Structure 1
Amino acid sequence: MRSRLIHTLPILLFSVFLAGCQFNPFAKKAGIQITSHPDANVIINGKSVSKTPFYDENLTPGMTTIQMTAIDSGQSWEGKVNLVSGTLTTVHREFGSTPDKSHSYSLSFEKLANNKDSSVSIISLPSNATVSIDGKPAGFTPATADIAPGPHVFSFTAPGYQDKIINGAVQIGYRLVLNFTMSTMEIVPTPTPTPIATPSATLTPKPTNTISITPLPKQATTSAVVKPYVEQSGR
């Protein structure tokens, strides 16, 4: 009986290994890199771990909740990422003056069925953002496209939001999942211009019909009238 157990135990352990059980000591772990500006306290799945920048490559794969709280302002943010074994997920949060003036993004991977394929999936808030990949138009979010492995530049624009550029590396056999939130555009009020005094234009009077007025002859008065000559009195 003991001999049978000794031979059966390795088979059971090997079966657990093939099933991918969470107790499998040989299962690959997942990594995460969390950054922010300014620095923030980090909570992963409800457990306080450290502050940004944070790096850990010994996490359990699966859906993970990330919380960040800016140290200086107390502004908080929460997001979810799917950690995949053998890959590194990147999360970044840029804290602005208000949540709508802040932006964030995450880069993660999904394993593809064909190890020779590579693609990208882009999700944005707001949706319908215009996408450019390496300077070429690529439609609107949400978007999925086959793409060559290697580094790429992803650019996004949306009315009323700040333009965004994200650098990401695509790996063969994986789909790069890019999930980002855009910040609203700062609206600067246009100052009312101060009126500047300028010389008024000289108005040229319109010509009018000239009316000739003939003065009436001066009437005689009792006062002396100056004459052009002197009269001599008779002798």
Structure 2
Amino acid sequence: MKRKVFFLVGLIGLVFIIGALVRFLGNRGPKQGELRVDSQPAATIFLDNKNIGKTPYKDKVEFGEYTIKLVPETTTTALTSWQGKIVVGQNLLTYVNANLSESELTTAIDVVWLEKITSKQSELSVTTNPDGATVLVDDVSRGVTPLSLQDIAPGDHAVSVTSIGFLARSLKIKTTPGYRLIANLKLALSGATTTPEASPAESSAPSGKATPTPKLTPVKTATGSAGQTSDPPRPFVIIKDTPTGFLRVREEPSTSATEAGRVNPGEKYTISDTQSGWYQIKYDGINSGWVSGQYTEKVE
């Protein structure tokens, strides 16, 4: 009987030892996150001075802080390289989007990543170079950079950053409970030859699973009716002044919907449909989209 007891005790002890060894070896394994890099034009990527490939890039890297450098690949125009710091979290996505230009002043960079926090809320932190840029979340002004929001609802959001003398930047993000989404943006001086705005797709959830590849989407400019002597057919809307100097036209009647184009204050558009405080208009004479009633005046 005693032999059986000793055997069982020894067996249990062996199981604990094996379990501890497995956990120890597992902790010694690679701890990785996902890095995605896009640029216009294509560029060679150096991570801590090591060539890891070209844009567009997506791969797993060990978590930690890195120095990243993008060297543009072009033979037609002399463009400036860009170098900066990034953080890759364990099982999290870090996204870099670069519009490289002839000088550092006219180069625009977006670096977005997730950081685990002790709170169960979702948070958003936005910093810019230079500071003092206005931040709009879902078309509502939330303050100036550096900005930290601890009351942002989980889910999809549209973030816009504007500053006088600099090109505006727009991001589509997804906030997650228990994580802080950090967006560090380098603004480009107005008059740059970069793409008007970068629209990276949603950041991944903390699981680190793959997400849709971020895209650069050119924004259609409205050919509005500002200053015309006759009004369009009624009912129509008059675009009001906005904090950004323009009003976004959405593909659907929601602030989280994709931006289809832009209209300017004072322009007038015939209403083709109404839904939940949104008006459907033909913003360029051909394509239809939705504008928020918050920044429009309806004329019956």
Q: Give TM-score, length-normalised by structure 1.
A: 0.69
Aligned with residue 165 of structure 1, among 167, 170, 176 = 170
Question: Structure 2 CA distance, aligned partners of 1:136 and 1:67?
Answer: 34
Matches within 5 A, 1:205-216: none
Question: Structure 2 CA distance, aligned partners of 1:15 and 1:170?
Answer: 31
Residue number in structure 1 paired with 2:24: 16
**1:184 equivalent in alignment to 2:186:** no
Residue 97 of structure 1: how far off its partner (Å): 2.6
Does structure 1 conserve the Cα–Cα contact (< 8 Å) formed by 2:69 and 2:84? Answer: yes
Q: Which amino acid aligns with 2:82?
A: W
Deviations 1:66-120 (A, max 9, x none): 1100011352111111111111110011012322111001110000113x31010
Bigger mean CA offset, 175-184 vs 76-85: 76-85
Q: Which structure 1 residue ranges, 4+ long, deviate > 3 Å from structure 2? A: 6-12, 14-18
Rg larger for: 1
Residue number in structure 1 paired with 2:126: 122
Aligned with residue 41 of structure 1, among 44, 47, 71 = 44
Question: Structure 2 CA distance, aligned partners of 1:35 and 1:126?
Answer: 22
Question: Structure 2 CA distance, aligned partners of 1:141 and 1:38?
Answer: 28
Residue number in structure 1 paired with 2:86: 81
Residue number in structure 1 paired with 2:108: 103
Residue number in structure 1 paired with 2:273: none
SS at match of 2:121: coil
Question: Structure 2 CA distance, aligned partners of 1:166 and 1:96?
Answer: 20
Residue 13 of structure 1: how far off its partner (Å): 2.8
Residue 151 of structure 1: how far off its partner (Å): 1.5
Does structure 2 conserve the Cα–Cα contact (< 8 Å) formed by 1:75 and 1:99? Answer: yes
Does structure 2 conserve the Cα–Cα contact (< 8 Å) formed by 1:107 and 1:168? Answer: no
Question: Structure 1 CA distance, aligned partners of 2:127 and 2:24?
Answer: 36
Question: Structure 2 CA distance, aligned partners of 1:10 and 1:34?
Answer: 41
Percent of aligned pairs sharing the same letter: 27
Count of residues in Structure 1 that have an aligned counterpart in Structure 2? 177
Question: Structure 2 CA distance, aligned partners of 1:156 and 1:70?
Answer: 25
Residue 45 of structure 1: how far off its partner (Å): 1.8
**1:174 equivalent in alignment to 2:182:** no
Deviations 1:16-66 (A, max 9, x none): 368x5xx235x4x2001000000000111221011100100x211111221
Residue 9 of structure 1: how far off its partner (Å): 5.9
Question: Structure 2 CA distance, aligned partners of 1:75 and 1:186?
Answer: 16
**1:65 equivalent in alignment to 2:67:** yes
Residue 171 of structure 1: how far off its partner (Å): 1.7
Q: Which amino acid aligns with 2:153?
A: A
Question: Structure 2 CA distance, aligned partners of 1:161 and 1:74?
Answer: 19
Question: Structure 2 CA distance, aligned partners of 1:94 and 1:74?
Answer: 10
Does structure 1 conserve the Cα–Cα contact (< 8 Å) formed by 2:68 and 2:85? Answer: yes
SS at match of 1:13: helix
Matches within 5 A, 1:216-235: none
**Higher RCO (CA 8 Å, separation ≥ 6 residues):** 1
What 5-or-longer segments of structure 1 have no aligned partner?
Answer: 188-235
Question: Structure 2 CA distance, aligned partners of 1:40 and 1:180?
Answer: 19
RMSD: 2.4
Q: Give TM-score, length-normalised by structure 2.
A: 0.54
Distance of aligned partners of 1:51 and 1:15 in 2 relative to their CA distance in 1, 3 Å threshold: closer
Question: Structure 2 CA distance, aligned partners of 1:178 and 1:34?
Answer: 14
SS at match of 2:164: coil
Q: Which amino acid aligns with 1:16?
A: F
